[in-house]
Amino acid sequence: MNPIETNLLRQAIEVARQARAQGNHPFGAVLVDEHNRIVLQAENTVITGKDVTGHAETNLVRLASQHYSPEQLARCTLYTSTEPCAMCAGAIYWSQIGRVVFALSEVDLYEIVGPSPNHLLLSCREVFAHSERKIEVSGPSLALDSEARAVHAGFWH
């Protein structure tokens, strides 16, 4: 990843910190246009919104769909603190967003969280592989592994 992508991932991690400070799960996402400008950001609101679908990425997709056309979204990149789950990957696919970049992998997240009956281990790459439209995926970011993990420290236990 180049320095611009690293900084955009850091912004997504910062949004995750904000979500945690608000009492939510520590996940954040930012949407970037074709000129690498952040146009939207969203945090997880599962707890405060009392909505299990209030993941950072689905919240971002809802906002993005209201503000941008599918053609515009196809030129956008979604940067997220943690790999999108299967639900979020589906939302990203339906929104037409063209690219996803994530810091922490789903496998690494589940290692941090520990055993849970709520894990759905299905990578976003696998979800996208079953679609008719190619979505470029980059991640995890090894350079940001410690920063991406730090936002989760002490939250899940």
HSE-CB of 26 using CA atoms within 13 angstroms: 20
pLDDT digits (tens, 9 = 90+) for 33-64: 999 999 999 999 999 999 999 999 999 999 99
Closest to 93 (Cα-Cα) out of 136, 128, 139, 69:
128
pTM over 0.85: yes
Which residues partner with 30 through β-bridges?
A: 41, 79
DSSP class of residue 100 equals E
**Pure H helices in 41-105:** 56-67, 70-73, 86-95
**Catalytic site positions:** 57
Look at residue 115 in the predicted model and tell me its pLDDT.
85
pLDDT confidence band for 119 (50 / 70 / 90): confident
Closest to 77 (Cα-Cα) out of 64, 90, 86:
64
pLDDT confidence band for 14 (50 / 70 / 90): very high
pLDDT digits (tens, 9 = 90+) for 93-115: 999 999 999 999 999 999 999 88
1 pLDDT exceeds 90? Answer: no
Question: Whole-angstrom Cα distance, residue 115 to residue 30?
Answer: 29
